[in-house]
Amino acid sequence: MDHETVKQRLLEERAHWEREVEAYEEEFSESLEEASDESPYDQHLAETAGVTLDREIDLTLEESARATIVQIDRALQKLEDGTYGRCDKCGRGIGDGRLGVAPYATLCIDCKRLEERGL
Ligand SMILES: [Zn+2]
């Protein structure tokens, strides 16, 4: 893939994840509205707790969407630096196969696995 194609793909991915984050935000304000529509008495505590739990799940999804945006920005920066396709950690090639699936990958599969294990 040439520079421009990769950049285009990254920007498209970025737009996609930004829409996801916005959708989560919207969903959150809607669920808050629903919660406050109901009378705020004790019998509704359980329902409010449900909303909180939903929010926590959304937060996790939102956080991973935000983390992906950060990673995409990093990949775009690497593209400008001329280090795109090289692992941030060990400097080896990330591999076209991996970049084809995840164009915003900034670590090779080995370093990624180590990172996921917290090493
Ligand atoms: Zn590596």
Q: Is the pLDDT of residue 31 over 90?
A: no
Task: Calculate what percentage of the chain has a pLDDT beyond 70.
Answer: 87
pLDDT value, residue 50: 73
Task: Calculate what percentage of the chain has a pLDDT beyond 90.
Answer: 57
pLDDT value, residue 107: 94
Q: Where are the domains of the chain?
A: 3-82, 85-119
CA of 65 to the centre of ligand 1 (A): 23
What is the Cα–Cα distance from 20 to 11, expressed in whole angstroms?
14
What is the Cα–Cα distance from 40 to 91, expressed in whole angstroms?
56
Look at phi and psi of residue 85 and say left if phi exceeds 0, alpha if psi is from -120 to 50, else beta. left
Q: Reduced to 3 states, what is the DSSP secondary structure of residue 93?
A: strand
Task: Find the length of the chain.
Answer: 119
CA of 106 to the centre of ligand 1 (A): 9
CA of 44 to the centre of ligand 1 (A): 51
